[in-house]
Chains A and B, each alone.
Chain A
Amino acid sequence: MNNTGLPIIVALLASTLRLATPLIFAALGGLFSEKSGVVNIGLEGMLTIGAFFAVYGSFKTNNPWIGIIFAVISGAAIAAVHAFLSIHLKADQTISGVAINIFAAAITSYLLMVLFNRQGQTDGVTPLYYPKEAMQSIPVIGKFLGELNWYVFIAIALVIVTNYIFYKTPLGLRIRAVGEHPKAADTLGIGVYGIRYLCVILSGALAGLGGASLSLSNTNLFREGMVSGKGFIAIAAMIFGNYKPFGALWACLIFALADAFQIVAQGLGWPFPTEFYSAIPFIITMIVLSGFVGKTVPPAADGIPYEKGEK
């Protein structure tokens, strides 16, 4: 971490936000899917696909914004498969999600060989430009803003937008209705399948964007295994946040803070093994979840395929 000339707290907060962004995107994606009643274990795979295609898009066009669009489309495409399996074919959504995770890991490392002729990781590609100097010249918070990237702003904006959609718009009401009681929603003329397709595909698009924020920000390359469980952490954050956008945001920030803190803590010279700092966020989550949050309530019809016209 580059914290030369930065107060440690600023560096810590900035890296917390940077580390949280992929989680926030994926957790929001998970929210859309689960709120509409489709369990999405495949977020991990969708992040992987997004991370790969973001780099591929930037590699092909030299334009990172096109890379981001690639990521969103590829994430949406793989999510469409999950949607088709879960909604039309009434698949076991866990099986479908697990299949997508395996598929994503395999196809990206396969494409790494076929498209990049490389193993393990891609070449570095054109990074996403962020006006660091201009941001730093802003008074008071300039130094902090200079350490961020565009994804941080997009992610936080999307949390607000998602919250607004869920609780202030007719579409959000429909999504929640479909997730809670699809038959009632169907009776009222809401297209259950349509809403679910929309939400699952949106969840893939968001996770794809999350993948882009992982590969096309600091490192500017795709490495096998770079997602390493972030999709599962996002699922945990979503449930931990009790299936609410802001809840998920806070949960993602806690994970990221602990992650950022361990890098800082190693420089403090405290007599704890590094593994201890690494394990802290997970221990804290369990304590908070079991001690304070207790039972989280998923949407009533989460994971249950809807059959039209069934009694």
Chain B
Amino acid sequence: MKNKKIIKSVASSLLFPLISIIVAMFVAVIFVMWAKHISFFKGVQVMFKAIWNGSFGRKDSFIETLVYVIPLLFTGLANAVAFKTGLFNIGVEGEFMISITVGAIVGIIPGIPPVIHVILVLIAGTLAGVLWAGIVGYLKAKVGSNEVVNSIMMNYIALYFSNYLIMGPFNKKGLAQTADIQPSAMLWRFLGDDYRVNIGLYIGLLMVVLIYIFFWKTTWGYEIRAVGINQYAAEYGGINIKKNIILAMAISGGIAGLGGAVYVSGIQHHAIQMVSFTGYGFDGIAVALLAKNNPIGIIFSALLFGALNTSSISLQMANIPKQIVFLIQAIILIFVAADYVYKWIAEKRKKGALLNE
């Protein structure tokens, strides 16, 4: 009986996002039709073929999808932790960036034994993220200054500080980047050196599980969730709000920072001058929101966003504007935002059922 209930609730919480995704895809077909002046059925055929081949259909593209998924797992999770506490950490982007830079710098140091070096890079990146978000959390808790403003500011400070380090003291002569990190600082690419996918993927999945356990099986996680649901009730229940705000921001920043370190030691192998933001942190907001801040859900929404981002290349090769995939993402989010409609329909049906009895 209990299992049946769980299955039913899982099914109903998956059903709505699935419908949203399908509807969003079909709305996007209209834009394909307009751009290519083709019929609806032709548009469906061309678009779905391009997206499928560009994301899951071929071995290369599937692996590249996974490469996209890695950073999104971390940034999505980082955003979700903040949202769960009732905070909006728009600064995941900056935390991710500063950790790329710090990770690259630690990774350049020669002469450290292999396994230790990778771990040092990951720790350094995590700490950079904790520091970046911790400042914001501390200011929010102690002075009450708005975390959205401060984390936007920290994004820009991360951007300029990173660029100073990358173009200044740690610049590789003649290039807009740092030197490559030492082989000892690289995460293992388990499908060989031809593919960029690496064990960062498993670190990401492990983090998902850890955060899930942390939130639902520990007192600390319970306290953070309580603060997120109702601050005043939580305080009345003896929960220290300030401590939890700082803790949640630090965890959020730490995950984002670990993501940045994984990105540099697994995927990019050096830090490049950042003309603007990387976008992974901002995409993480969407990933978290689509998953309704559920850690397990983030695996699926990161996979979806990763697949869509990757398939933009094959769309371009099929002469379809690659922006279609971002339109799909936006439309999916609009549907997710509008989930009240779904509740409203459910409520109507419930009321109808009562009347019929």
Which of A164-172, A191-199, A277-285 is the contact stretch? Answer: A277-285
Q: A91-B338, A92-B337, A114-B35 are in contact. Are A294 and B143 (CB under 8 A)?
A: yes
Given the complex, which residues of A lie within 8 Å of B327, measured CB to CB?
Answer: 103, 106-107, 110
A120 to chain B minimum Cβ distance, whole angstroms, is 12
CB-CB under 8 A from A289, the residues of chain B are: 145-146, 149-150
The reply to whether the CB of A131 lies closer than 8 angstroms to some CB of chain B is: no
Nearest Cβ in chain A — how far from B138, in angstroms? 9
- Count residues of chain B with CB under 8 A from any CB of chain A: 46
Q: Are B330 and A290 closer than 8 Å at their CB atoms?
A: no
CA distance A98 to B88 in the complex (A): 12
Once bound together, how far apart are the Cα atoms of A229 and B155, in whole Å?
Answer: 10
Cβ-based interface call for A136 (8 A): no
Whether A103 contacts B330 in the complex (CB less than 8 A), given A92-B337, A239-B146, A279-B157, comes out as: yes
Judge whether B111 is part of the interface by a CB distance below 8 angstroms: no
Flag if A106 contacts B289 (CB, 8 Å).
no
**Bound-complex Cα distance A286 to B149 (A):** 8
**Residues of A close to B145: CB separation below 8 A:** 286, 289-290, 293-296
Interface band, chain A: 35 or more
Confirm or deny: A159 has a beta carbon within 8 angstroms of a beta carbon on chain B.
no
Once A273-B168, A285-B153 are accepted as A-B contacts, the answer to whether A103 and B331 lie under 8 Å apart by CB is yes
- Asked if A33 CB lies within 8 Å of chain B CBs, one says no
How many contacts between A and B, using CB within 8 angstroms? 137
Per-residue contact bits, chain B 314-357, to A (CB 8 Å; 1 contact, 0 not): 00000001011011011101101111110000000000000000
Chain B minimum-CB-distance residue to A103: B330
Q: List 20 A-B contacts (CB under 8 A).
A: A92-B337, A95-B333, A98-B286, A99-B331, A102-B286, A102-B326, A106-B323, A106-B327, A106-B329, A110-B31, A229-B152, A229-B276, A239-B146, A275-B164, A279-B160, A285-B149, A285-B153, A290-B139, A290-B143, A294-B144
Residues of A within 8 A of B (CB): 81, 85, 89-92, 94-96, 98-100, 102-103, 105-107, 109-110, 113-114, 225, 228-229, 232-233, 235-236, 239-240, 273, 275-276, 278-279, 282-283, 285-286, 289-291, 293-296
